[in-house]
């Protein structure tokens, strides 16, 4: 399946399993969403469960808060990553805090789907990476699939989880195909995955950058360097155990994502692993990220996004330190 189709099938399965699961978002019903992730679901489940919402992200999330309080399982779609900001106050002030504020009386079992990242020739507000804002906020869980199989299972796991989930979907991977096992979940929602074994360098990434890192690892192998690639999958919480185990073996760390390096997920990963694996390190951790600028015009986005050459350069840098 493509990732978009895997998400569609995952949503369908969740809606079949629980009549209190409902979808809300702009153009998700008759149109099936801008990326057609919800295609056909309104036809099969009706307008009461697949709701075309007005152009008002704050109202969409605010309505979902009320539904979650009443025991429903709302799954909201933010049409593009940059459109989440009108709902930011609802997310960080209500969604993230109501469970704690009510001493556990109210559960915020809801999912906020956000197509995120660049690589599709779009402009700012359509190509951004806001995951760090939400990872910083206590009370929110943040995850990102990188394959159709993960997308299929992680959306279902997110819908059944009692905490609010920010579900970041790499839009540049929507149309890439992969095998999907519809019978067996590969791992838990918040578990990292080692995608490639290696002994020289540990590369940690997630979402849209996973495939780029795997290509870089292949290129590095042709130069005689063994690169281990770990897909974090969960951004909040982060599954540090397999990352630390890998770094204790390789001694060298590169972290890759599209968001700016400034106060980012990669900053946290490098800092935490430097603390936990200090005596295993052979070189300081290096980050390969987007630049600390607004997202550029599509003609130059390839210069902005992490690519194979920039990742290989980072591998060269950490390999250049003496043991």
Q: 78-129: per-residue pLDDT in tens?
A: 999 999 999 999 999 999 999 999 999 999 999 999 999 999 999 889 999 9
Digit-coded pLDDT (tens) for 292-311: 999 999 899 999 999 999 99
Burial, 255: exposed, middle or buried (Cβ in 10 Å; 0-12, 13-18, 19+)? buried
pLDDT at 12 over 90: yes
d(CA 260, CA 186): 30
The pTM score is: 0.96
Q: How far is CA 311 from CA 107, 170, 216, 306, 307, in A?
A: 41, 19, 6, 7, 6
The per-residue pLDDT for range 30-89, each reduced to its tens digit, is 999 999 999 999 999 999 999 999 999 999 999 999 999 999 999 999 999 999 999 999
Instruction: Map out the domains of the chain as residue ranges.
Output: 3-173, 193-319
Residue 173 DSSP one-character state = G
Which entry of 99, 125, 126, 136 is annotated as an active-site residue?
A: 126
Give yes or no: 126 in active site: yes
Quote the distance between the C-alpha of residue 47 and its chain's center. Answer: 28
**What would the pLDDT profile of 154-178 be if each residue is shown by its tens digit?**
999 999 999 999 999 999 999 999 9
The reply to whether 193-319 shares the fold of 3-173 is yes
Is the confidence at residue 280, as pLDDT, over 90?
yes
The CATH architecture one would assign to domain 3-173 is 3-Layer(aba) Sandwich (3.40)
pLDDT at residue 31, rounded to an integer: 95
Class of domain 193-319: alpha beta
């Amino acid at each position: 399946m493509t990732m978009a189709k895997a998400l569609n099938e995952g949503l369908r399965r969740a809606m079949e399993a629980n009549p209190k699961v409902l979808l809300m978002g702009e153009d998700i019903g008759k149109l099936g969403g801008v990326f057609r992730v919800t295609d056909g679901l309104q036809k099969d489940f009706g307008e009461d469960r697949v709701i075309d919402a007005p152009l008002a992200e704050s109202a969409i999330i605010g309505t979902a808060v009320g539904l979650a309080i009443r025991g429903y399982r709302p799954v909201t779609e933010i049409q593009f990553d940059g459109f989440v900001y009108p709902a930011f106050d609802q997310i960080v002030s209500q969604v993230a805090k109501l469970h704690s504020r009510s001493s556990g009386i109210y559960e915020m079992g809801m999912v906020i789907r956000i197509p995120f990242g660049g690589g599709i020739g779009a402009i700012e507000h359509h190509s951004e990476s806001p995951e760090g804002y939400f990872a910083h906020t206590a009370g929110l869980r943040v995850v990102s699939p990188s394959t159709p199989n993960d997308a299929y299972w992680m959306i279902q796991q997110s819908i059944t989880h009692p905490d609010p989930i920010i579900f970041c979907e790499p839009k540049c991977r929507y149309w890439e195909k992969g095998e999907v096992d519809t019978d067996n979940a590969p791992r838990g929602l918040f578990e990292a995955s080692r995608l490639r074994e290696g002994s020289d360098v540990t590369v940690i990434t997630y979402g849209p950058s996973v495939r780029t890192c795997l290509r870089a690892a292949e290129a590095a192998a042709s130069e005689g360097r063994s690169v281990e690639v770990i897909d974090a999958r969960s951004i909040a919480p982060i599954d540090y155990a397999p990352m630390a185990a890998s770094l204790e073996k390789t001694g060298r760390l590169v972290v890759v994502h599209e968001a700016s390096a400034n106060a980012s997920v990669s900053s946290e990963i490098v800092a935490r692993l430097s603390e936990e694996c200090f005596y295993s390190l052979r070189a300081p951790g290096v980050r390969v990220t987007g630049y600390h600028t607004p997202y550029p015009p599509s003609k130059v986005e390839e210069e902005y996004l992490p690519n194979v050459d920039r990742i290989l350069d980072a591998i060269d840098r950490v390999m250049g330190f003496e043991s």
